[in-house]
Amino acid sequence: MVKIALVSCGTEYSGIQKEIEKAANKFGAEIILPEIDLDYIDEAYEKFGFSAQSSSLKLMIARAMAIVEGKSKPDAVFIATCFRCAEAALVRNEVRRFIQNNTRIPVVTYSFTERTKADELFIRMEALATTVTRRSILASCIDGKQSGYWNRLDINQRHYRIC
């Protein structure tokens, strides 16, 4: 089963947590929450270097830091924040960049509303699950060089490494 780490802010409050889990389960994936200590939140927040006022965003940063430092070992990462929060949009982008620059874990981001349903999340969860399960077919790394069918994905004119 593919383990997808949920790095998010507000999913419980808005009521879409169960929708995210339903979408992941449809494609044979399991949503996990990176476990961290309360003391680690402030430490990770200071290391990250981005000033956020919300305690939920600080928790989101700490969970991302736990993934990068290897304290949590997911197969993929799903980053989600509320559509209406400007601060969360900035943090979501920085967390995505941080994880992509420091790991080889596939990452998908999503900006949700309180009306988001599992059907809207299917394509994102399918992309994560497929990338993890078919990684060897899509690309392989030999001595840090990519080979295979695709050596990068071109999404919105940005290039993402697969391996």
Cβ neighbours of residue 116 under 8 Å, at least 6 residues apart?
A: 14, 16, 19
Q: What is the pLDDT of residue 54?
A: 87
**Alpha-carbon distance values, 102 to 9, 71, 119 (Å):** 21, 14, 31
pLDDT tens-digit series, residues 78-111:
999 988 888 999 999 999 999 999 998 999 999 9
101 within a domain of the structure (yes/no): yes
In terms of pLDDT, which residue wins out, 139 or 30? Answer: 30
147 within a domain of the structure (yes/no): no
pLDDT tens-digit series, residues 116-127:
888 888 988 898
CATH number of the domain encompassing residue 66: 3.40.50.11900
Q: What is the pLDDT of residue 33?
A: 94
Give me the domain span that covers residue 47: 2-136
158 within a domain of the structure (yes/no): no
Q: In the chain, count H helices and then E strands.
A: 7, 8
Kindly state the DSSP code that residue 73 receives in the 8-state scheme: -
In terms of pLDDT, which residue wins out, 138 or 35? Answer: 35
111 within a domain of the structure (yes/no): yes
5: confidence class by pLDDT, cuts 50, 70, 90: very high
Least confident among 37-46, 65-74, 78-87, 147-156: 147-156
37 within a domain of the structure (yes/no): yes
Rounded to an integer, the average pLDDT of 145-160 is 48
160 within a domain of the structure (yes/no): no
Q: At what angle do helices 55-68 and 38-48 cross, to 10 degrees?
A: 80
Number of domains comprising the chain:
1
Rounded to an integer, the average pLDDT of 1-29 is 91
DSSP string, 94-120: HHHHHHHHH----EEEEEE-TT--HHH
89 within a domain of the structure (yes/no): yes
156 within a domain of the structure (yes/no): no
The tokens describing 58, both together, are 């600080």
**Alpha-carbon distance values, 132 to 83, 110, 115, 129 (Å):** 27, 18, 28, 5
Cβ-count burial of 61 within 10 angstroms (0-12 exposed, 13-18 middle, 19+ buried)? buried
